[in-house]
């Protein structure tokens, strides 16, 4: 244990002596959470949609078919009660719902309302989705009205869930949290073991009596502590500067965030074991982590609008699962049980990455 504590202390000294590293670790998260906490325009495609109807008559079926036939929407569920819709939204199985009034074709000469319900955790997407759905319904309504089946007084009303004020920070704060923690943890730890190789101190590690797992752990502990500080800073700025509430359980959010930090650190240490220079480690981190994380994690571009092959590749990005969890826990306020699949994926990634890192480090010892 004394040797392990000595390794941890040495790693802290390395970090504290390097002012540029400290600036990146402490300064960059603050700047990014402020700069990226605002709106970025996005596009819509393949929106997972549910239909709420009391009875499926001819006119309702026509409108549903028109919605499902459009490339922007995919009707996944047809339900008959608001409670079923609420469950689908909370489980993140749908992104938009269309609620038809009771006896749609029988009471057509009254002023009826079709309600469009959108998940507004991403306000730009919610507005775009609602607008597209309204346009499709109004076009289909005009066709039915010409045929004398639906009265022109039919209204379409929008309702936005989770973010009725349409604040863009509600969407991008979870995304930026994932981006910052991934880059800070992975990029900084990716140079930790490589630095030992370049400075010629790797031999001291190889002949030390400390188990390889503890050597790797000692490299991760300082960055884990700094990442916890970053996480605290991000949450405080999100709540008190950007006015983004923590609607769900704070303990669950912190626990999942610590798990994501662990996964990111393990990924950075694996990169450090695979590369020979700090420059190479940073380049690999930037190319393998930064660009895919920005593009494939759902921070900017909706994953449902991507090609199937890109959706498959996005499953390999840890930030994709973390961003999804944060949106559900922080913005939607769902319980932890609703994100068990995402948590399981992150846990599996952490175990696999740690195992690969230890195996690669052991190979170098041999």
User: Which tens digits make up the pLDDT trace of 234-274?
Assistant: 888 888 887 888 888 888 989 999 999 989 888 888 887 78
Between CA 31 and CA 232 the distance in angstroms is 15
For residues 265-291, average pLDDT: 77
Q: Is pLDDT of 179 > 70?
A: yes
Per-residue pLDDT band at 41 (split at 50, 70, 90): very low
Q: Are the C-beta atoms of residues 305 and 283 closer than 8 Å to each other?
A: no
Per-residue pLDDT band at 39 (split at 50, 70, 90): very low
Give how far the C-alpha of residue 133 lies from the chain's centroid of Cα atoms, to the nearest Å: 25
Percent of the chain past pLDDT 90, that is, above it, reads 5
Its pTM stands at 0.68
- pLDDT at position 150: 54
- pLDDT at position 260: 92
- pLDDT at position 256: 92
Q: Is pLDDT of 153 > 60?
A: no
- How confident is the prediction for the chain on average, in pLDDT? 77
Q: How far is CA 184 from CA 17, 36, 326, in A?
A: 18, 16, 18
Give 179: exposed, middle or buried? Use CB within 10 Å, 0-12, 13-18, 19+. buried
Q: Are the C-beta atoms of residues 101 and 107 closer than 8 Å to each other?
A: yes
- pLDDT at position 31: 62
- pLDDT at position 95: 86
- pLDDT at position 99: 87
Sign of the four-CA dihedral 121, 168, 49, 340: negative
Q: Is pLDDT of 348 > 90?
A: yes
Between CA 174 and CA 330 the distance in angstroms is 8
Give the residue carrying structure tokens 């981006």.
179
DSSP3 helix / strand / coil % (the chain, rounded to 5): 65, 10, 25
Per-residue pLDDT band at 281 (split at 50, 70, 90): confident
Q: Is pLDDT of 346 > 90?
A: yes
Per-residue pLDDT band at 212 (split at 50, 70, 90): low
Lowest-confidence segment of 108-112, 254-258, 291-295 by average pLDDT: 108-112
Higher pLDDT, 127 or 30: 127
Q: Is pLDDT of 40 > 50?
A: no
- pLDDT at position 238: 82
């Amino acid at each position: 244990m004394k040797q392990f504590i000595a390794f941890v202390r040495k790693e802290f000294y390395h970090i504290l002596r390097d002012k540029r590293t400290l600036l990146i670790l402490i300064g960059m998260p603050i700047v990014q959470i402020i700069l990226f906490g605002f709106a970025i325009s996005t596009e819509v495609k393949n929106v997972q949609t549910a239909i709420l109807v009391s009875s499926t008559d001819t006119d309702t079926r026509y409108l549903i078919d028109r919605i499902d036939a459009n490339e922007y929407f995919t009707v996944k569920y047809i339900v008959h009660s608001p409670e079923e819709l609420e469950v689908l939204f909370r489980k993140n199985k749908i992104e938009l719902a269309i609620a038809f009034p009771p006896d749609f074709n029988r009471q057509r000469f009254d002023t009826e309302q079709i309600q469009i319900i959108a998940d507004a955790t991403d306000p730009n997407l919610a507005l775009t989705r609602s607008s597209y759905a309204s346009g499709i319904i109004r076009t289909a309504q005009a066709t039915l009205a010409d045929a004398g089946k639906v009265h022109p007084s039919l209204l379409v009303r929008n309702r936005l869930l989770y973010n009725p004020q349409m604040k863009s920070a509600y969407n991008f704060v979870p995304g930026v949290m994932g981006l910052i923690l991934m880059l800070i943890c992975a990029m900084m730890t990716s140079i930790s073991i490589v630095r030992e190789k370049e400075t010629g101190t790797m031999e001291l590690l190889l002949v030390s009596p400390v188990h390889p797992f503890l050597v790797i752990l000692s490299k991760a502990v300082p960055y884990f502590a700094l990442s916890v500080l970053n996480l605290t800073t991000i949450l405080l700025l999100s709540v008190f500067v950007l006015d983004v509430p923590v609607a769900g359980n704070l303990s669950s959010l912190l626990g999942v965030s610590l798990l994501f930090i662990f996964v990111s650190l393990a990924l950075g240490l694996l990169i450090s074991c695979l590369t020979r220079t700090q420059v190479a480690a940073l380049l690999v981190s930037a190319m393998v982590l930064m660009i895919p994380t920005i593009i494939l994690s759902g921070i900017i571009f909706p994953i449902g609008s991507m090609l199937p092959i890109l959706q498959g590749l996005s499953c390999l990005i840890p930030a994709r699962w973390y961003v999804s969890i944060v949106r559900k826990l922080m913005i939607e306020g769902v319980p932890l049980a609703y994100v068990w699949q995402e948590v399981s994926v992150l846990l599996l990634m952490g175990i696999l990455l740690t195992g690969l890192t230890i195996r690669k480090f052991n190979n170098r010892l041999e």
